[in-house]
Amino acid sequence: VGAAEIAYQAGGSPLAKEEMHQNINPKAPPMTKAEFARASQIYFERCAGCHGVLRKGATGKALTPDITLGKGTDYLKIFIAYGSPAGMPNWQTSGEMSEADVDLMARYIQQEPATPPEFSLADIERSRKVLIPPAQRPKRKMNNYNLDNLFSVTLRDSGEIALIDGDSKEIINIIKTGYAVHISRLSKSGRYLYVIGRDGKINLIDLWMPKPDNVAEIKVGLEARSVETSKYKGFEDKIAVAGSYWPPQFVIMEGDTLKPQKVVSTRGMTVDNEYHPEPRVASIVASHYKPEFLINAKESGKIMMVDYSDLKNLKTTTIDAAKFLHDGGFDSTGRYFLVAANASDKIAVVDTKLGKLSALVNVGKTPHPGRGANFIHPKYGPVWATSHLGSEDISLIGTDPQGHKQQAWKVVQTIKGQGGGSLFIKTHPKSKNLWVDTPLNPDTKISQSVAVYDINNLEKGPQTIDIAGCAKLGDGAKRVVQPEYNKAGDEVWFSVWSAKDKASAIVVVDDKTRQCKSVIKDAKLITPTGKFNVYNTQHDVY
């Protein structure tokens, strides 16, 4: 496990704010209530991302008392303080934990895992607010914005999103949301925008209002990352779904009121037929071929194709893929869904028409495609590409079993990027460029620039573009993250993501000339990360 992968996984969990139930293990070194509370907070801020809420292990090892008690406090202290070559960070020698905290954590992990509360349908319903009921909403679009080219931009640390007009580059509205919004998705018609915070809060934004704003909100769980809406004919704008990390479950809701209809747990067996108590819900996409959501359970390695046409008699096709499912997107036809199994260094391919696994494709170390990038390779035909957190490789996978049978679901070419620590890769059907970011690369020169390839001449290697340099922001670490195209496919937007108390920016690059075209700066643009163009998100164009 490399530095980039650890930096990525060890993000703070909103569960750190919850009061945990203390299960006392008489064999473990004793802890006071106050010590337990402090240790729980440190655990959820630093450790849970890799070791899991219930310490059953994910990227990191399992840390349940049956394992930790035998090791003893002194051994565990050394491990926490100095780390390990397998990827455990050196918490004490790096200065991030004091000696006292290391001792506290060594004792804490010998106790039974703290259990955060469950969150039932009734809890979810109690959190719901309909600010403007559907009957009082506009009957038609009441503004003059070119909604197709609107961008929903996450302002991570301020708990907001900015709606930015892609034509004028003006901020239309800044909307209060949950904390650290992870993604934005559009309803089938493009009218409703759904955003989900890391704290499980969904905001439903009506883009038809004179000034687009919140019309409903709900909290679906205590920690979450994904939301999606029904796309199939007859169900347009009707249904929404959200997955949570804790509790490990997903909830299906009414599209326009967010009224929860059904909660389904993901607890159960993994692809290795072992029980896992908390398979977190990672990415979710909506099928174009059937009234189904494809819901990816991280730790179980299973993809659930959930039929939303009859919630009382719920039909689910469960596909065994590989561990740990994370992020993914469709091929250019919208028939095949490709998702990273990041701990297996594989991409799982699902045929959404047949409801079957088409292939598990071996790629590089820790693939991280975002939604991936589709283009026509001059030699191999239609391909979908992923970059990697753990290596500089960019893997191109053939996606055309009809026209290019030999290449289908095989890595047809691997090209070299700037380095590991990549999160997102992007192109557009109208573009000849393939853009790859590297925000988690430890070399600031690399994390602040992006690589761009000519799709018709990949062998030539990339041109690197100093995106942070275009923003002219002064000092401080600036990670350049997530390329996103405008609707026309002639501009690419990048976030220049600085600390909360430092200036950030969005840099817009002319896709043809690869020159910086404009820089969006505003005191209100705090820590921009994900950007979602309405049309491209609505139609799965990437």
- Site mask, ligand DHE, residues 145-184, x = CB under 6 A? -----------x-----------------------x-xx-
Residue from 88, 97, 253, 304 carrying the catalytic annotation: 88
Per DSSP, the three-state class of 411 is: strand
Looking at the DSSP bridge assignments, the partners of residue 337 are 330, 350
111 binds ligand DHE (CB under 6 A): no
Per DSSP, the three-state class of 346 is: strand
Q: Using the rule CB under 6 A, which residue among 39, 218, 350, 423 binds ligand DHE?
A: 423
| Binders in 11-40 for ligand DHE, by CB under 6 A | 11
Q: Which span (36-44, 277-285, 379-387, 410-418) binds ligand DHE, by CB under 6 A?
A: 277-285
Q: Taking phi first (over 0 means left), then psi (-120 to 50 degrees means alpha), and beta for anything else, what does residue 59 get? A: alpha
Q: Which span (4-12, 32-40, 78-86, 97-105) binds ligand DHE, by CB under 6 A?
A: 4-12
539 binds ligand DHE (CB under 6 A): no
Q: How far is the CB of 470 from ligand DHE (least distance, A)?
A: 20
51 is catalytic: yes
Omega of the bond prior to 117 within 30 degrees of 0, cis?
A: no
Check: CB of residue 232 under 8 Å from CB of residue 207.
Answer: no
Looking at the DSSP bridge assignments, the partners of residue 204 are 194, 216
Q: How far is the CB of 91 from ligand DHE (least distance, A)?
A: 17
Q: How far is the CB of 60 from ligand DHE (least distance, A)?
A: 13
305 is catalytic: no
Q: How far is the CB of 223 from ligand DHE (least distance, A)?
A: 9
428 is catalytic: no
Q: Which span (84-92, 206-214, 280-288, 448-456) binds ligand DHE, by CB under 6 A?
A: 280-288
Q: How far is CA 20 from CA 51, 194, 515, in A?
A: 17, 30, 51
Q: How far is the CB of 241 from ligand DHE (least distance, A)?
A: 10
- Please classify residue 265 by burial: count the beta carbons closer than 10 Å to its beta carbon, then call 0-12 exposed, 13-18 middle and 19+ buried: exposed
470 is catalytic: no
Helix axis angle for 99-108 and 65-82, nearest 10°, is 160
Residue from 105, 288, 304, 368 carrying the catalytic annotation: 368
343 binds ligand DHE (CB under 6 A): no
Q: What is the DSSP string of 504-532?
A: -EEEEEETTT--EEEEE--TT--SEEEEE
| Alpha-carbon torsion angle 210, 212, 218, 222, nearest 10 | -160
Q: How far is the CB of 180 from ligand DHE (least distance, A)?
A: 5
Q: How far apart are CA 31 and CA 45, in angstroms?
A: 19
Q: How many residues bind ligand DHE (CB under 6 A)?
A: 23
Q: How far is the CB of 31 from ligand DHE (least distance, A)?
A: 26
Q: Using the rule CB under 6 A, which residue among 438, 482, 498, 536 binds ligand DHE?
A: 482
530 binds ligand DHE (CB under 6 A): yes
Q: Using the rule CB under 6 A, which residue among 226, 300, 352, 358 binds ligand DHE?
A: 226
Q: Using the rule CB under 6 A, which residue among 39, 88, 239, 284 binds ligand DHE?
A: 284
50 is catalytic: yes
Q: What are phi and psi of 32, to 5 degrees?
A: -75, 170
Strands 356-362 and 346-351: antiparallel
Q: How far is CA 367 from CA 247, 274, 343, in A?
A: 26, 24, 9
451 binds ligand DHE (CB under 6 A): no
DSSP 351: E
Q: Which span (279-287, 299-307, 341-349, 392-400) binds ligand DHE, by CB under 6 A?
A: 279-287
DSSP 53: T
Residue from 47, 97, 305, 516 carrying the catalytic annotation: 47
- Site mask, ligand DHE, residues 287-326, x = CB under 6 A? ---------------------------------------x
For tokens 């009218």, the residue is 191
Q: Judged by CB, which is closer to ligand DHE: 22, or 448?
A: 448
Q: How far is the CB of 353 from ligand DHE (least distance, A)?
A: 21
Q: How far is the CB of 11 from ligand DHE (least distance, A)?
A: 3
Q: How far is CA 119 from CA 23, 267, 283, 361, in A?
A: 19, 14, 20, 36
Per DSSP, the three-state class of 281 is: strand
Measure CA 269 to chain center.
Answer: 23
Per DSSP, the three-state class of 123 is: helix
Residue from 20, 31, 51, 304 carrying the catalytic annotation: 51
Q: How far apart are CA 53 and CA 222, in angstroms?
A: 12
- Please classify residue 216 by burial: count the beta carbons closer than 10 Å to its beta carbon, then call 0-12 exposed, 13-18 middle and 19+ buried: buried
| Binders in 370-389 for ligand DHE, by CB under 6 A | 370-371
DSSP 163: E
327 binds ligand DHE (CB under 6 A): yes
Residues that bind ligand DHE (CB under 6 A): 8-9, 11, 49, 156, 180, 182-183, 225-226, 282-284, 326-327, 370-371, 423-424, 481-482, 529-530
Active site residues: 47, 50-51, 88, 326, 368
